[in-house]
Amino acid sequence: ATMRKDRIERTKTVCTYCGVGCSFEVWTKDREILKIQPDPAAPANGISTCVKGKFGWDFVNSEDRLTTPLIRKGERFVEATWEEALSLMASKMTDIKETHGNDSIGFIASSKCSNEENYLFQKLARSVFGTNNIDNCSRYCQTPASTGLMRTVGIGGDAGTIEDIESSELVLVVGANPAESHPVLATRVKRANKLFNQKLIVFDLRENELAQRADLFISPKPGTDLVWLNAIAKYIIEQDWHDADFIEKRVNNFQDFVDSLDTYTLDYAEEKTGLSKELLIKVATIIHEAKSMCALWAMGVTQHMGGTDTSTAISNLLLVTGNYGKPGTGGYPLRGHNNVQGASDFGTMPEWLPGYESIEDDKIRAKYEEAWGTTLPKEPGYNNHEVVEAIQDGKVKAMYLFGEEMGLVDSNINYVHTAFEKLDFFVVQDIFFSKTAQFADVVLPAAPSLEKDGTFTNTERRIQRFHKALEPLGDSKPDWRIFQDFANKLGANWKYEHPGEIMDEVAKLSPIFAGVSYSRLEGWDSQLWPVNKDGTDTPLLYEEEFGFEDGKARLFPVEWTPPYEPGEEYDLHLNNGRILEHFHEGNMTYRSEGISHKVPEPWLEVSPELASKRGIKTGALVRLKSPYGETEIRVWVTEQVKGKQLYFPMHSMEEKSAVNNLTSSYHDKDTHTPNYKEMDVKMEVIEPS
């Protein structure tokens, strides 16, 4: 035993932070995490990692870890056994279901957790509780991008691999900050820009690091991306620069699309976006001259009233210019969390079973009913946004949430908190006692990725295994085990002994995962869905066919939705997003010494112009107010932002300095993704410096 204890273990894992999906070995001795060792064979990253992947692991051994179930007793929580916690959940949730109906319970899944865990959670919601009220946090970020792709090319995933991006002649980045949010992917773009003369155009409000290196950095008025996208598509068609041959053979609905662009003249675009006609023509010309173009986008596009339409407009532009089906072309929404792609792929969405098979399709439902031995509800359930409204309206009485800090990261958190208070019963499962957990009736201790086995799917649709390096701390358990124990308390009789068996079940049921198996995911091996039965995967989509029945893509006309503006009194535009060192509310990064030491708190970026007008310097403390709430934060004066633009990093574990005190409940009209990026505020100075 002593010998074993002294041994250094090397375990392959996948990064638990962003959607790039870097894999590497973690070296451990007992519970000590010694180092992260990258390997040239790692498919998404090779020998690269960023600061989070390299130094962001101390949270696993944090004293703040939940190590035992907790049950609320009045205002306090008391420690409980698993038996007590699960029995209480079983009796309360059964009661609520019997009294108020199946759809009185909501389930919130986690894009931090594995594919197998997400699959089991939707199986629990659908087959044990009989509800489709299930969603994951892609509702806060990526659903508009997936929907835009499904409308146009039929598949809600990146068109090719991260490596393919290097072979593109032109990379168009819209509303994204990859150098901080997807650092290792950004390194590839920087490299291609330097070595292969790849052209880079960045459209963003803020001159982020990649923007500073771009051939063209363009900053349109907030919320107007759809206008310039449509105007450039129109101009390209008018110049006869569109790929007529590609469109003829592979794309439907061209004429309708052309007709839909009538309004989007260069004059109109200049007026709405603030970009000159000359600049728009220059961009159109660069696009025309490039033999291949791919488009990368993220929350700067999706988190708007028209986020789905703008995502659609990006894909339309790619189709018009024949930029799909070859390496270095196509749409690349940059997925935020490590498993935001996989959580949706594995069925934690109100309208989709795993692999994007519709819950409303009788044949598909019958297939799952037979496999699971239950009857399934046909109607799509409430999404994350609707479930909050349904709680407010008294329709949803109980909620089960895991690995998701809705109480800080959802938009308009004060409103969300009032909803939590109305719940009759609330289960929160996490690795820490989160803000959300404060509203819970039962809190369950989960195990992070280093303490369990499973797979994550990165932004390229790449499924990769991660392996258990440490035992779960205290009484914590892998999420999949908790779901199984709970389901079995309710008589489900699930018998999974390992996540590999869950994957085998998915492979049998879901055609896009037909050939996925743990035996094909050994070592550094990975598979990019769709995967045929024989195990051949699909690094590049659309080489032969698009994801529609006739194999053709579809141009999808879209109209501009002006951004939400709360009124003149709110005179500053508040943008928000990530910084390199931290991740979301920071529950893991602030608990990692190497990172929190360097960047202990978030700050508000203020332009030199605005700072001098208000008489403030770096270090000043200000209060921001919106119609929904207020928050206090320290200022950093920087030229990264211009004029009346503010940039607020979203990383705050303190409620009083959380950006979502300010954001509203307005949302994308098609997917209900909150319009986080459309917020005007006013600023009061508390301390000038």
Q: Which residues 17-46 are close enough to bind ligand SF4 by CB under 6 A?
A: 17-18, 20-22, 45
User: What is 475-540 written as a DSSP string?
Assistant: T-B-HHHHHHHHHHHTT-----SSHHHHHHHHHHH-GGGTT--GGGG-TT--EESS--TTS---SS
The span of 49-57, 130-138, 214-222, 289-297 binding ligand SF4 (CB under 6 A) equals 49-57
- 425 alpha-carbon distance from chain centroid: 27
Q: Which residues 53-112 are close enough to bind ligand SF4 by CB under 6 A?
A: 53
Nearer to ligand SF4, 46 or 511 (CB): 46
Q: Which residues 642-681 are close enough to bind ligand SF4 by CB under 6 A?
A: none
Instruction: State the minimum distance, in angstroms, from the CB of residue 44 to ligand SF4.
Output: 7
Nearer to ligand SF4, 17 or 332 (CB): 17
Nearer to ligand SF4, 151 or 591 (CB): 591
Q: Do 558 and 543 contact (CB within 8 A), yes or no? A: no
How many beta carbons lie within 10 A of that of residue 380, not counting itself? 17
Instruction: State the minimum distance, in angstroms, from the CB of residue 204 to ligand SF4.
Output: 19
Contacts 24+ apart (CB under 8 A), 412-421: 412/628, 412/629, 412/660, 412/663, 412/664, 412/665, 412/674, 413/629, 413/655, 413/658, 413/660, 413/661, 414/628, 414/629, 414/661, 415/388, 415/628, 415/665, 416/388, 418/392, 419/388, 419/391, 419/392, 420/391
Nearer to ligand SF4, 296 or 401 (CB): 296
Instruction: State the minimum distance, in angstroms, from the CB of residue 280 to ligand SF4.
Output: 33
C-alpha to C-alpha distance for 130 and 108, rounded to whole angstroms: 15
Per CB under 6 A, the list member of 26, 28, 52, 671 interacting with ligand SF4 is 52
Q: Please name the helix (run of DSSP H) or strand (run of DSSP E) that holds residue 27, with its range, or none.
A: strand 23-29
Nearer to ligand SF4, 183 or 448 (CB): 183
C-alpha to C-alpha distance for 318 and 154, rounded to whole angstroms: 14
Contacts with ligand SF4, 130-169, as mask; x by CB under 6 A: ----------------------------------------
* Residue 682 half-sphere exposure toward CB, CA atoms < 13 A: 8
Instruction: State the minimum distance, in angstroms, from the CB of residue 76 to ligand SF4.
Output: 37
The span of 10-18, 93-101, 156-164, 375-383 binding ligand SF4 (CB under 6 A) equals 10-18
Tokens of 181: 């949010």
Sign of torsion over alpha carbons 530, 534, 537, 543: negative
What per-residue string of b and e applies to 272-286 under the rule 16 or more CB within 10 Å gives b? bbebeeebbeebbeb
Instruction: State the minimum distance, in angstroms, from the CB of residue 201 to ligand SF4.
Output: 22
Q: Any idea of the CA torsion for 112, 146, 577, 16, to the nearest 10 degrees?
A: 20
Tokens of 210: 């990649």
Nearer to ligand SF4, 178 or 445 (CB): 178
Tokens of 244: 């007529």
C-alpha to C-alpha distance for 90 and 95, rounded to whole angstroms: 8
Nearer to ligand SF4, 50 or 423 (CB): 50
Sign of torsion over alpha carbons 584, 585, 591, 596: positive
Cα-flanking dihedrals φ and ψ of residue 407, to 5°?
Answer: -70, -10
Q: Please name the helix (run of DSSP H) or strand (run of DSSP E) that holds residue 105, with its range, or none.
A: strand 105-108
Nearer to ligand SF4, 50 or 150 (CB): 50
Instruction: State the minimum distance, in angstroms, from the CB of residue 557 to ligand SF4.
Output: 36
Binding-site size for ligand SF4 (CB under 6 A) equals: 14
Nearer to ligand SF4, 45 or 303 (CB): 45
Instruction: State the minimum distance, in angstroms, from the CB of residue 462 to ligand SF4.
Output: 12
Instruction: State the minimum distance, in angstroms, from the CB of residue 341 to ligand SF4.
Output: 13
Instruction: State the minimum distance, in angstroms, from the CB of residue 296 to ligand SF4.
Output: 14
The span of 14-22, 158-166, 224-232, 622-630 binding ligand SF4 (CB under 6 A) equals 14-22
Query: Which amino acid type is present at position 428?
Result: V
| Residue given tokens 């390997």 in the structure block | 39
Per CB under 6 A, the list member of 13, 28, 49, 110 interacting with ligand SF4 is 49
Nearer to ligand SF4, 21 or 342 (CB): 21
Q: Do 357 and 199 contact (CB within 8 A), yes or no? A: no
Instruction: State the minimum distance, in angstroms, from the CB of residue 598 to ligand SF4.
Output: 15
Per CB under 6 A, the list member of 50, 437, 470, 506 interacting with ligand SF4 is 50
Closest residue to ligand SF4, Cβ-based?
53
- 184 binds ligand SF4 per the rule CB under 6 A: yes
How many beta carbons lie within 10 A of that of residue 615, not counting itself? 10
Nearer to ligand SF4, 25 or 270 (CB): 25
| Residue given tokens 């409980």 in the structure block | 80
Q: Which residues 352-411 are close enough to bind ligand SF4 by CB under 6 A?
A: none
The span of 181-189, 195-203, 387-395, 667-675 binding ligand SF4 (CB under 6 A) equals 181-189
Determine how β-strand 553-554 pairs with β-strand 527-528.
Answer: unpaired
Instruction: State the minimum distance, in angstroms, from the CB of residue 50 to ligand SF4.
Output: 3
Nearer to ligand SF4, 45 or 132 (CB): 45
Nearer to ligand SF4, 507 or 588 (CB): 588
Per CB under 6 A, the list member of 12, 15, 60, 487 interacting with ligand SF4 is 15
Instruction: State the minimum distance, in angstroms, from the CB of residue 366 to ligand SF4.
Output: 39
Instruction: State the minimum distance, in angstroms, from the CB of residue 362 to ligand SF4.
Output: 40
C-alpha to C-alpha distance for 584 and 135, rounded to whole angstroms: 19
User: What is 340-405 written as a DSSP string?
Assistant: HHHHHHTT-SSSEEGGGEETT-HHHHHHHHHHHTS----S----HHHHHHHHHTTS--EEEEES--
Instruction: State the minimum distance, in angstroms, from the CB of residue 45 to ligand SF4.
Output: 6
Instruction: State the minimum distance, in angstroms, from the CB of residue 564 to ligand SF4.
Output: 31
Nearer to ligand SF4, 45 or 592 (CB): 45
Nearer to ligand SF4, 20 or 558 (CB): 20
Query: CA 195, 198, 204 angle in degrees (round to 5)?
Result: 125
- 183 binds ligand SF4 per the rule CB under 6 A: yes
Nearer to ligand SF4, 333 or 674 (CB): 333
The span of 5-13, 140-148, 177-185, 270-278 binding ligand SF4 (CB under 6 A) equals 177-185
- 334 binds ligand SF4 per the rule CB under 6 A: no
SS3 of residue 210 by DSSP: helix
Which residues here bind ligand SF4, judged by CB under 6 A?
15, 17-18, 20-22, 45, 49-50, 52-53, 182-184
